[in-house]
Copies of this chain bind each other. A is one copy, B any other.
Amino acid sequence: MDLIKVLENKTITDVSGFKATGVACGLKNNGNKDLCIIYSEKKAVAAAAFTTNKVKAAPVLLNMKNIEGDNIQAIVANSGNANACTGDDGYEKAVLMSKKTASALNIAPNEVMVASTGVIGVPLPIEKIVSGIEEASKNLSKTGGIDAARAIMTTDTCEKIYTVEFHLGDKVAHISGMAKGSGMIHPNMATMLSFIATDANITKSMLNKALKESVEDSYNMISVDGDTSTNDMVIVLANGASENILIDSEDINYFVFKKALHQVNTELSKMIAKDGEGATKLLEVKVYNACSVKDAKLCAKSVITSSLVKAAFFGADANWGRILCALGYGGGNFRVDGVDVFFSNQIGSIQICKNGGHLEFDEILAKQILDEDKITIAIDLNDGECCATAWGCDLTYDYVKINGSYRS
């Protein structure tokens, strides 16, 4: 029996007590949806993680205050403008977003989380936002999750949603997440925008603990371009609608909940990595047998972040020397002559480096594996018992194209 069941095509509004919608308020020139509200009908506890970038967007600064409260019932988010590097004016506009949303939903302004994503440094067109909030707050529904997920997309090519169902004692609980990623993706303590709703009944402190631990091994292990954004955030709202016995300690239900939450975070992270700007391939780097988890993570992240490694995978070129090079400057400890490297996916598996050096391998099979759109790079350090996984994507012409004219 699967403890955690994946619910295909379900969204954040399939979680008990959550409504949402997405609307087009004119921030995107193409008329696509660009503003969403997620609303919990019941009071909810929240946990969040924010970017470690010193340059923090206005909504991040506001949320870092509001997250301290006992109740968060709504998230309002816009795409098309990051409201970052916008000074006091930007901060006042973020506050106004929370006030307008709160008054439409009859809650307090500090019970609203605010998020923005898009171009940095352009003043937020607040009139459009305000009219968008008015429209969205009237249209909240139990089927609006997909529209909400689409409204936070920027250069994303698809919405990113993931929903699971699991048992907490004799009650059925759910966790559903929606995320956007694409560029400026190299999270540190949090990532891009990821909003997660659950009907589990859990205390704020336990929710916080579960999120913090999960983030380290999910969002913080992906990279599209090495650029840690000014706007990264992940927010989890838990409204207790599943009526399980309150999770207030590290009991069995906490571990079930945490496992489910981590599955949602990990799958959303992989969706973000796979849909990196211009990407054609999802790359998964698994480091085995490192002498510490820290070393395993440093090694995995250095390989997934290397422009040269990423470009080689775009070209389906089994240039394993670049992997060794990236390991070497990543700061993790390992013995160079202990490194084995393998490529694998559904086509097969092939070893392409042994003891840190050259190995005759079947170039045709290697090319077949690398031509697929998902590739696992397994790196055995033969140096201990710890492991780590990181996700990313290839570096392509389209990444350059998208980012050569992002403001236009």
What residues of chain A have their CB less than 8 Å away from a CB belonging to chain B? 52-56, 82, 84-87, 90, 119-123, 183-184, 186, 188, 225-230, 305-308, 311-312, 314-315, 317-322, 324-329, 334, 336-337, 353, 355-358, 395-397, 399-408
Q: Contact between A226 and B86 (Cβ–Cβ < 8 Å)?
A: no
Given A184-B308, A306-B227, A357-B87, A317 and B408 touching (CB < 8 A)?
yes
CB contacts (< 8 Å) of A322 on chain B: these are 120, 184, 227
The answer to whether B54 touches A334 (Cβ under 8 A) is yes
Residues of B within 8 A of A395 (CB): 400, 403
Contact A324 B403 (CB under 8 A): no
Shortest CB-to-CB span from A232 to chain B, Å, is 10
How long is the Cα–Cα vector from A397 to B408 in the complex, in angstroms? 19
Tell me whether B321 and A82 are in contact (CB under 8 A). yes
Q: Which residue of B lies closest to A228 (CB)?
A: B329
For the complex, what is the distance from the CA of A370 to the CA of B87, rounded to whole Å? 26
By a CB distance below 8 angstroms, the chain B residues around A318 are 407
Evaluate contact between A325 and B355: CB separation under 8 angstroms.
Answer: no
CA distance A227 to B357 in the complex (A): 19
- In the complex where A397-B397, A400-B311, A400-B314 touch, is A329 in contact with B54 (Cβ < 8 A)? yes
What are the nearest 6 A-B pairs in CB distance?
A120-B321, A315-B404, A55-B328, A311-B403, A121-B321, A53-B328
B405 touching A225 by the CB < 8 A rule? no
Q: With A52-B329, A54-B329, A227-B307 given, can you name 17 additional A-B contacts, CB distance below 8 Å?
A: A54-B334, A55-B324, A55-B328, A85-B321, A85-B357, A119-B319, A121-B357, A227-B322, A227-B325, A230-B321, A230-B328, A307-B399, A312-B406, A317-B408, A319-B406, A395-B403, A396-B400
Shortest Cβ gap from A155 to chain B (Å):
12
A356 contacts B85, CB within 8 Å? yes
Taken together as a complex, chains A and B put the C-alpha atoms of A342 and B166 apart, in Å, by 54
Q: Give complex CA distance A256, B337 in Å.
A: 44
Shortest CB-to-CB span from A86 to chain B, Å, is 6
CA distance A55 to B29 in the complex (A): 49
Q: Which residue of B lies closest to A363 (CB)?
A: B407
Q: In the complex the two chains form, is A319's CB within 8 Å of B407's CB?
A: yes
Cβ of A222 to closest chain B Cβ, rounded Å: 15
| Chain B hits for A307, CB < 8 A | 225-227, 307, 399, 403
Q: Please, how many angstroms separate the alpha-carbon atoms of A315 and B406 in the complex?
A: 9
Chain B, residue nearest A311 (CB): B403
> For residue A401, which residues in chain B have a CB less than 8 angstroms away from its CB?
397
B87 near A317 with CB under 8 A, answer: no
Q: Which of B55, B230, B404 contacts A312 (CB 8 A)?
A: B404
Interface centre among A119, A306, A324 (most CB of B within 10 A): A324
Query: A183 — nearest CB in chain B belongs to which residue?
Result: B308
* Residues from chain B with Cβ under 8 Å of A405 in the complex: 315, 317
Interchain CB contact under 8 A, A325 and B230: yes
- CB-defined A-B contacts under 8 Å, sample of 11: A85-B324, A120-B324, A227-B306, A227-B322, A229-B325, A230-B325, A311-B402, A311-B404, A314-B404, A315-B403, A397-B400
